[in-house]
Chain A
Amino acid sequence: MLEVKGLTVHYGAVRALGGVDLSVDEGSVTAVLGANGAGKTTLLRTVSGLLKPRAGSVELDGRELTRLPVEDIVRLGVAHVPQSGGVITELTVEENLRLGGLWRRDRAALTRRVAEMYELFPPLAERRARTAATLSGGERQMLALARALTGGPRLLLVDEPSLGLAPRVVAQLMAVLRRLCDEDGRTVLLVEQNARSALSVADRAVVLDLGAVVAAEAAATLAADDRLRHAYLGF
């Protein structure tokens, strides 16, 4: 579904990604793992159009994305949940959710999707009239994910959902991601520092180090590979 070829991204003179190849199958959860500064976030931001690559291509079902503006990539069904944030703090929970699906211009479907999100994340339903600024970190992460889902994306890019959250909340979020894939047939590209919890839900995993892919395996194979685990994943 998603084909990344030879992706090279620079921040000024600093190279963040150097020729990354990646392939994501439809209906799977792919984890992108690696240490700080490995280029995981850069990869996601380039796929969603927030960054423009110096070289290489990103194709969604054969369609080149790198020249499109962010809003058009969203409209092709790619939703990005950025690292810590991605919610509009001064809008209410309800308004945030509706914002995520506004571009579809189908009010009835949007209302239905918002109701589904309240079912999926019950804490949000209790706070629907509160501004997002009043939410806790975990609730914000839920809201960011729910907001991305109200657009009905085919490909979900999730950047470190576990950041700063209690292990139990992380486990719940991971379970939700798995369900989105199994039950709704969505494709998930998950960036994580927390390799253990990411590998527990992923089908495949890619390990980045210093802007290059050092391993791309089935999640189970990777979890069983002691050498890789020690060298790059730290457990």
Chain B
Amino acid sequence: MGTVLNVLRRSTLARHTAAALAAIVALYFLTTAVGPYRDLQIAQAAYLTCAVAGLTVLTGLGGQISLGHGAFMAVGAYTAVLVIGHWGWPLAAVLAAAAGVTAVAGVVVGAVAARLHGPYLAGATLAFAVGLPGLANYKPLTDELGGQNGLTLVPPIPPAGLGETFPLERWQSWIACLGAVITLFLLGNLVRGRFGRTLRASRDDEIAAALSGVRVARLRITATVVSAAAAGLGGGLLAVVATLAAPGAFPLTLSLQLIAAIIIGGLGSLPGAVWGALILVYVPTWASDLSTSSGFSHNIASNLPLAIYGLVLIVVTLAFPRGLQGGLRDIGGAVRRRARKRRDPAPGPRASTSGPTTTHPGGADEATPDQAGARPDDRGDAGGRGERLRR
């Protein structure tokens, strides 16, 4: 029994390693095939993936809402710029420092947040998101932090071995993509083990978790620290890609967009974090392309992108109440059931009834136990648990 479990555990690690390597290869071909503009977009999606993945661990798995992850990104970005400016460390060390310093900020925020729930927690983290970027404009610190204009960063120089004409944007997107893959790999392994299980337990039933000997408060602080470190890395990568850290890059809307991304992607799902980050980057640009080519008057065309963006978000949440990842899983399950039905002409009653309920808009809230019963292959880890968030 023990050896079987060990082999399974090792194979999870092997599976994650294989996925990470495959992602690196795919991203290599993708980034070399496209131009500088697309490379920058990929880089943006990559650094947002870091932050969204961190947030989905804390909010999706841990049930602790954070409206302050934009501020964690700001901490990471300023750390990266300051470390490069003062000490000129190599890039990998700079990014590690960005994650590390933000993790320390996470300890402070986590210690406060572990005592709070629901709206109080949202309020406290909201204050963090609104207040922290303002530090850059605080008089005694403006020399150090550059005030409203922020601090600029010397762009990273692609290694000479790649050739003299190697585009900077491609190099930046490689850095950001590598950061995102490493983040997802580390979080993926963390979430699969004891940490993820106890985190889900403490979200589902705090008292039962405590009675099982789980140190709930400490666990929540750890989750905040892990989550903050990921967001800090995302922020550091943002600074490297944008070659700038300025308060304007970390408005409250960034924090809210991160929340939207984890919900759209699928709460608690790391692949969902990638979907969410992609939506954040591509839907606004797609919407503005669409409205400029629509031939409407300037007044309409300039306001249309926001409307389209909002519409897309509404449609996605209605169509996939458990997020894009949850939706994909449902579709995959339906396809598998259909294939099974074709092989075996006498279908079970459940196979034919479970399809429609999953597309019901309120399904995520109302039918969680039923859904879990209808789909034994879905272990309920990624479900759209709006219920928990509102608690």
Contact = CB atoms under 8 A, between A and B. Distances in A.
Nearest to B383: A90
A123 B354 CA distance: 25
Nearest to A108: B2
Nearest to B1: A111
Interface residues on B, range: 20 to 34
B381 A71 contact: no
A142 to B, nearest CB: 15
Contacts of A48: 211
Nearest to B218: A71
B62 to A, nearest CB: 13
Contacts of A75: 213
A88 interface: yes
Contacts of A80: 211
Contacts of B5: 111
Interface in B155-195: 194
A90 B204 contact: yes
A66 to B, nearest CB: 16
B210 A133 contact: no
Contact of A133 (B201, B207, B369): B369
Contacts of A70: 210-211
A211 interface: no
B381 A90 contact: yes
Interface stretch (A6-14, A96-104, A193-201, A216-224): A96-104
Contacts of A151: 212-213
Nearest to A130: B376
Contacts of B210: 50, 69-71, 74
A135 B187 CA distance: 30
B213 A134 contact: no
B284 to A, nearest CB: 34
Interface residues of A, number: 36
Given A102-B214, A115-B1, A133-B369, A86 B208 contact: yes
A107 to B, nearest CB: 8
A151 B209 CA distance: 13
A85 interface: yes
A100 B209 CA distance: 8
A91 B211 contact: no
Interface string B1-17: 11001000000000000
A64 B2 CA distance: 38
A129 B158 CA distance: 50
A39 interface: no
Interface in A124-142: 129-131, 133-134
Interface string B371-391: 011001001110100000000
A21 interface: no
A89 B369 contact: yes
A80 B208 CA distance: 9
A122 B364 CA distance: 32
B152 to A, nearest CB: 47
Contacts of B213: 71, 74-75, 100, 102-103, 151
B207 A99 contact: no
Closest 6 CB pairs between A and B? A103-B213, A74-B213, A133-B369, A70-B210, A90-B380, A88-B201
24 contacts: A48-B211, A70-B211, A71-B210, A71-B213, A71-B214, A85-B208, A86-B208, A87-B205, A88-B209, A89-B205, A89-B372, A90-B381, A91-B201, A98-B197, A99-B197, A102-B214, A103-B212, A103-B214, A115-B1, A131-B379, A131-B380, A133-B368, A148-B211, A151-B213
